[in-house]
Chain A
Amino acid sequence: MSTVDANFLVLIPLFPLLGAAIIGVLSLHAVARGKSPARPLVNGVACLMPALSFVFVCIGYFKLKGSGAEGAALAQTLYTWMEAGAFKVDVAFLFDNLSCLYLAFVTFVGTLIHVYSIGYMAHDEGFARYMAYLNLFMFSMIMLVLGSSLPLMFVGWEGVGLCSYLLIGFWFNDEAKASAGKKAFIINRIGDFGFVVGMALIFIQCNGLLDYPGLVSHVAANKAVLGTSGVVTAACLLLFLGCAGKSAQLPLYVWLPDAMAGPTPVSALIHAATMVTAGIYLVVRMGFLYILSPTAMAVVATVGALTALFAAIIGFLQYDIKKVLAYSTVSQLGFMFMAVGVGAFSAGVFHVVTHAFFKACLFLGAGSVIHAMHGEQDIRNMGGLRKLMPWTYWTFVISWLAIIGCPPFSGFFSKDEILWQTLTAHHNISHGLAVVLWAIGFVAAGCTAYYMTRLVILTFWGEGRADEETRKHIHESPRSMVIPLVVLAAGAGILGFFGLPHVIVDHSVVNDWLLGTFTAYGLPDADHGAAAKEWAMMGCSVLIAAAGAGIALLFYVKKPELPAVLLPKLKGLYTFIHNKYYVDELYEAIIVKPIFRISKSILYGIGDVIIIEGIVNGVAGLMRDVGARLRPIQTGDTRVYARWIMGATILTIALVFWLAVV
């Protein structure tokens, strides 16, 4: 891989960091004086910084394109961060086609959400703290993507986790919300554990290398050795544990629905568009290693597919507008992992990008609704908002069509590409498994259409179910919130044309662009299969989406009495799904409680207090006792002492004689 030095790369993460620092200081200063900092200043800085990052990402894009060479990348090395023997980590940035694409949507969507937040947080006292965290998040996310080595990615990885923690628990006076933040951080730490150990294994296996360009060439040169090594599989699986934590996959997805406790723009930015896709980025970034291990690939794809279906089904019966979207995100992330697991890296990344737009738009739309309804999140109390909030409604509809896979909206192309690539996969994964995964994904796509349609119907259609007082105040959101919605909806609508399927165009824009990075991985050429079959599968995708949407229409518009009839027959199943399969309760019962109990009563209660302290104090007590017993000897009575001396003398003489005789 050839790299071109580019000294401006550091600016991309630096701007938001600077923003976070400035706003943080303003905020602390204000807090110390018991006042609020100036709103326009804080808002201006907060929105300007990610926008500047976006500008420099664009500059980077043109430079990268201008360099001409295939697989070229821009790079910048600042200084050595850590060094001990073979372990050397530079603070260095790598701007290649993959990171360029990722950064482009991260900074673009990020900036829009900052703008949206101005309106959303307009009545919140803590807006400065909020903006500081949001800027800090942008910095961390950019570091995650732009860093040129695994340890640097880990800096961003932990940074976004921290910001997520802080923002989920943003309204910390509500203990449940603070608790959700803590849960997110701790579950992510389980993933981070995998990341760190996996990174250590790669370090050991790959000659102490941790930077991507070095690893790519090392792996290319040692394919034969590494391909047969179980360590590579172990490392990939451990890294994937990290992904499962960050990107909310089975079995670590449980934090994401709770994370909806945070302000809604945060859910849009962090828990839908950007941070949660970091796991896909990691797998794709380390794709050259993953393709050496069919086992790891199969695990990634299978977990992805199962998560896609599993979460979609939970989405059926949720009544919190944000929770529905949260499970939808988990499900969509599952699709992405299914894609990268079968080796369709470009398709996975493309879905990341389209998902960032339509899901951010959906979340912001939901935020707009919640904002208008003064915090109401239960869709049973909504309905009839179509007329009252036209901008929100229409942007929501576009994103809805995108997510359920209605052509020609973006989600159709990206999701269909994933399904098609899964169905035809046979290089990195056995074909039989691929077909099974495809079937799971196909069903999950139908489920998606069902729960999303249900959401739209209950929220926007029909009669308003809110109380009079709330209805009176429902209004379209301010312009700072509507404009981002429109821009995102536009993206959700048209982005699909950058990733048209092979039967329509020979070279899709996204695919070609990403090849710049993936060529070096040595991926086998994609098999395009028969064109007729691909058209047919596209038709099937549309049909399953239509079926899902149709059932939702049937249940909630045409025959609203039907669910009530069906419900008693499926009572058990309903309760089971409605309670999210009792996974949280299961974890609580088999992991959290036992660990806590064992720590408290056995380790601390028995180990420390009784055994160790018992021995320590026992020894001390023994000394005291022995002393006490021996004390009577020291009577101070001369006659007693004389007797002792007498006895000892006789004994000594006897001993001497005895020794002499023997």
Chain B
Amino acid sequence: MTGIFFDMQDHLLSILTFAPLIGLLVILLMSGRAVNGIRWFTLVLTLAIFLVSLSLVSRFSADASGFQLLERAEWFSTLRISYLLGVDGLSLWLVMLVTFLSPIVVLSSWRAIDDHVKEFHLMVLLLQMAMTGTLVSLDLMLFFVFWELMLIPMFLMIGIWGGKRRIYASVKFFIYTMAGSALMLVAIFYIGYKYSFDLTLILQEYTLSRQEQLWLFAAFTISFAIKVPMFPLHTWLPDAHVEAPTAGSVILAGVLLKMGTYGFVRFAVPLFPEAALAAAPLFKTLAVIGIIYGALVAMVQTDMKKLVAYSSVSHLGVVMLGIFTFSELGVKGGIYQMIGHGLSTGSLFLLVGIIYERRHKRMISDFGGIMHVMPLYGVCFMIATLSSVGLPGLNGFIGEIMVIISAVRDHVVWGVLAASGMILGAVYMLWMVQRVFFGEIKHEENRGLKDLSLREALVMLPLIIMMFVMGVVTTPFTSRMTVSVNEQIVDRIETVRVLQAMDSDSVVAHGDMIESTKDRHSEDIVNALAASRSSAARRFDPGTVAGPSTDGVPFAAERRQRGDGAP
């Protein structure tokens, strides 16, 4: 035993990933009739995991380059697949989001899930393991295993505990996302056997040819874009959300969707920067279409869950737009928006679930005036709404403003379109609030509705606290992203830009620009890059890219603030 505890510090990520599995085995041994025992056990376990995960934040160094808390072990050495875990600024807060939401999900399902309680909690734990694993895997095969593993419990959750059309929704969810993954698997095999499965190794050692990048990027992004979901691959989402039980919706909105956007920042962009740069206009276009289309369609929904689901399409569009501006501001904003959306939309689904539990209805027209009978609930709903529409002081604003500013900088059209989502967001959310909460009570049967119970208040409280915290204090979150965002995304794209500029024989022009920015290091990188370009292996060490940007924009400082970034 002492040995295990001794090692705990070195295997923090493994512990976070597999602790749910241990809990799962324990629950398997418990009697299915001991429902409260199972609930309490799962709650305590997920809480304990959350507490342990706090040490992840404290041990994470904001200044360190590359991946941290690495764990490496031989796995299938003949297949060159290894067990490789690590965390960096891109995944840190998403891992925290998973561990934070899990106990909330368990507590929120206390009453809602009455049959197959044991199986339900098995699924929750399995899902937590798969999600954590997806976020910390640095071996492509290992990542894929966890990625696919996420599908199964979610599929069952919708299919077993879902609403009327649950079979249709769950099959649709499964096949849709599965279809995307198939191509990714092929791409992973290609990379694995041509180069390596080890993400850290590929990122450091290899630069793929343009042709390879384009194909592989396409294969990866289809899978990710479905998961996000990007317009026009989004139609599985409203169905899945509407049919899923509350817990499923919360996990789906809170974390699963972010796996898509996470895939972009973790794999698609860093591995295939040239392709990502080439595809950026397409993705930005789809992102802004998603923002506006999602909002407009949300506006005309009559089902509260469907409305929130479509609002996710809109919000995730903001995330995608931020990522594809390839600037520190935009990517950070995108990641912030991912976390923020997890909190606010997660809360909204919980809140809709709370009222659904009472009335077994969730059409907007089934309510009206319920502020009179459920004031506390109304206050919570209002705060979640305001967070969702991006009111400053709450979490939603931070990511949104960062993305909008970086989008305007990228091209004013993106910025204007993204910012118009701000208006529409207020329209559909406030209109829903208006119709559900204000006015006189429209249906007599709503008069007897009970306000939040203590348990429900406890479910909402941490979420609401975090909405305020993340709206008021943001640097503890963003400062831990800085190094990774720059290393993984900004610098890689910048390198491609510089190389492309050189390819198109505009070296002289660029040199002039560098001259004009009066930066001493600039020429050094260009030279270093030229050298790396000409070398047959086309291998480059990110460390040589230590100078400022060369695109002549007065934002060189942004990409270069950290002097310690390069190894």
Spell out A's residues near B (CB within 8 Å). 28, 31-32, 79-87, 151, 154-155, 158-159, 162, 165, 169, 172-175, 178-179, 182, 185-186, 189-190, 192-193, 196-197, 199-201, 203-204, 207-208, 595-596, 598-600, 603-604, 607-608, 612-613, 616, 620
| Further pairs besides A173-B369, A596-B299: 5, Cβ < 8 Å | A85-B555, A85-B559, A189-B422, A193-B422, A595-B296
Q: List 5 A-B contacts (CB under 8 A).
A: A175-B438, A178-B439, A189-B426, A196-B401, A197-B412
Closest to B390 in A: A158
Partner of A179, one of B300, B333, B434, B437: B434
B327 at the interface (CB under 8 A from A): yes
B: interface residue count bin:
35 or more
* Of A165, A190, A604, most B-chain CB atoms within 10 Å: A604
Q: Determine the chain B residues whose CB is within 8 A of the CB of A158 once the complex forms.
A: 391-393, 397
A83 with B372, Cβ < 8 A, contacts A172-B438, A197-B404 known: no
B416 at the interface (CB under 8 A from A): yes
B157 at the interface (CB under 8 A from A): no
Instruction: Determine, out of B122-130, B337-345, B474-482, the stretch whose residues face the partner at the interface.
Output: B474-482
Q: Per-residue CB proximity of B368-388 to A under 8 Å, as 1/0?
A: 010110011001000000100
Whether A174 pairs with B439 at a CB distance below 8 angstroms is yes
A208 with B299, Cβ < 8 A, contacts A28-B379, A607-B293 known: no
Whether B416 pairs with A197 at a CB distance below 8 angstroms is yes
Whether A200 pairs with B409 at a CB distance below 8 angstroms is yes
Q: Determine the chain A residues whose CB is within 8 A of the CB of B555 once the complex forms.
A: 85-86, 208
B183 at the interface (CB under 8 A from A): no
Partner of A84, one of B297, B333, B434: B333
B199 at the interface (CB under 8 A from A): no
* Min distance, Cβ B330 to any Cβ of chain A, angstroms: 8
Q: Determine the chain A residues whose CB is within 8 A of the CB of B391 once the complex forms.
A: 158-159, 162
* Min distance, Cβ B261 to any Cβ of chain A, angstroms: 17
Tell me, in angstroms, the Cα distance from A172 to B438 when the chains sit together. 5
A186 with B426, Cβ < 8 A, contacts A82-B474, A85-B559, A608-B235 known: yes
Tell me, in angstroms, the Cα distance from A613 to B238 when the chains sit together. 11
* Min distance, Cβ A501 to any Cβ of chain B, angstroms: 40
Whether B430 pairs with A193 at a CB distance below 8 angstroms is no
Partner of A86, one of B398, B416, B474, B557: B557
A599 with B300, Cβ < 8 A, contacts A82-B474, A84-B329, A178-B439 known: yes
Whether B419 pairs with A193 at a CB distance below 8 angstroms is yes
Whether A87 pairs with B554 at a CB distance below 8 angstroms is no
B51 at the interface (CB under 8 A from A): no
Whether B329 pairs with A182 at a CB distance below 8 angstroms is no
Residues 461-482 (chain B) with a chain A CB within 8 angstroms: 472-475, 478-479, 482
Spell out B's residues near A (CB within 8 Å). 172, 175-176, 232, 234-236, 293, 296-297, 299-301, 327-329, 332-333, 369, 371-372, 375-376, 379, 386, 391-393, 397-398, 401-402, 404-405, 408-409, 412, 415-416, 419-420, 422-423, 426-427, 430-431, 434, 437-440, 451, 472-475, 478-479, 482, 554-555, 557-559, 561
Whether B419 pairs with A196 at a CB distance below 8 angstroms is yes
* Of A79, A81, A172, A596, most B-chain CB atoms within 10 Å: A172
Tell me, in angstroms, the Cα distance from A79 to B479 when the chains sit together. 14
Closest to A201 in B: B408
Whether A86 pairs with B329 at a CB distance below 8 angstroms is yes
* Min distance, Cβ B328 to any Cβ of chain A, angstroms: 4
Whether A84 pairs with B328 at a CB distance below 8 angstroms is yes
Whether A84 pairs with B478 at a CB distance below 8 angstroms is yes
A185 with B426, Cβ < 8 A, contacts A85-B559, A155-B392 known: yes
Q: Determine the chain A residues whose CB is within 8 A of the CB of B175 once the complex forms.
A: 620
Whether B176 pairs with A616 at a CB distance below 8 angstroms is yes
Closest to A601 in B: B300
Tell me, in angstroms, the Cα distance from A199 to B401 when the chains sit together. 10
Closest to A91 in B: B472
Tell me, in angstroms, the Cα distance from A193 to B401 when the chains sit together. 11
Nearest 4 CB-CB pairings of A with B: A85-B558, A175-B439, A178-B438, A200-B408
Q: Determine the chain B residues whose CB is within 8 A of the CB of A159 once the complex forms.
A: 391-393
Q: Determine the chain A residues whose CB is within 8 A of the CB of B431 once the complex forms.
A: 182
Closest to A165 in B: B430
Whether B293 pairs with A603 at a CB distance below 8 angstroms is yes
Q: Determine the chain B residues whose CB is within 8 A of the CB of A208 once the complex forms.
A: 554-555, 557-558
Whether A173 pairs with B438 at a CB distance below 8 angstroms is yes
* Min distance, Cβ B291 to any Cβ of chain A, angstroms: 13
Tell me, in angstroms, the Cα distance from A85 to B405 when the chains sit together. 12
Closest to A171 in B: B438
Tell me, in angstroms, the Cα distance from A608 to B298 when the chains sit together. 12
Partner of A197, one of B393, B408, B475: B408
Tell me, in angstroms, the Cα distance from A151 to B405 when the chains sit together. 11
Whether A193 pairs with B438 at a CB distance below 8 angstroms is no
Whether A172 pairs with B419 at a CB distance below 8 angstroms is no
Q: Determine the chain A residues whose CB is within 8 A of the CB of B472 once the complex forms.
A: 81
Q: Determine the chain B residues whose CB is within 8 A of the CB of A80 once the complex forms.
A: 475
Whether A186 pairs with B430 at a CB distance below 8 angstroms is yes
Q: Determine the chain B residues whose CB is within 8 A of the CB of A190 once the complex forms.
A: 423
Closest to B382 in A: A166
Q: Determine the chain B residues whose CB is within 8 A of the CB of A175 once the complex forms.
A: 434, 438-440
Whether B478 pairs with A196 at a CB distance below 8 angstroms is no
Q: Determine the chain B residues whose CB is within 8 A of the CB of A200 once the complex forms.
A: 404-405, 408-409, 415
Q: Determine the chain B residues whose CB is within 8 A of the CB of A616 once the complex forms.
A: 172, 176, 235-236
* Min distance, Cβ A154 to any Cβ of chain B, angstroms: 6
Closest to B560 in A: A85
Q: Determine the chain A residues whose CB is within 8 A of the CB of B451 once the complex forms.
A: 32
Q: Determine the chain A residues whose CB is within 8 A of the CB of B437 once the complex forms.
A: 172
Q: Determine the chain A residues whose CB is within 8 A of the CB of B479 once the complex forms.
A: 83
Whether A172 pairs with B408 at a CB distance below 8 angstroms is no
Q: Determine the chain A residues whose CB is within 8 A of the CB of B409 once the complex forms.
A: 200, 203-204
* Of A182, A200, A612, most B-chain CB atoms within 10 Å: A200
Q: Determine the chain A residues whose CB is within 8 A of the CB of B478 once the complex forms.
A: 82-84
Q: Determine the chain A residues whose CB is within 8 A of the CB of B423 once the complex forms.
A: 186, 189-190, 192-193
Tell me, in angstroms, the Cα distance from A165 to B437 when the chains sit together. 14
A196 with B422, Cβ < 8 A, contacts A84-B328, A154-B392, A162-B386 known: yes
Closest to A87 in B: B329
Closest to A197 in B: B419
Q: Determine the chain A residues whose CB is within 8 A of the CB of B176 once the complex forms.
A: 616
Tell me, in angstroms, the Cα distance from A207 to B172 when the chains sit together. 49
* Min distance, Cβ B346 to any Cβ of chain A, angstroms: 22
Q: Determine the chain A residues whose CB is within 8 A of the CB of B172 once the complex forms.
A: 616, 620
Q: Determine the chain A residues whose CB is within 8 A of the CB of B430 once the complex forms.
A: 165, 182, 185-186
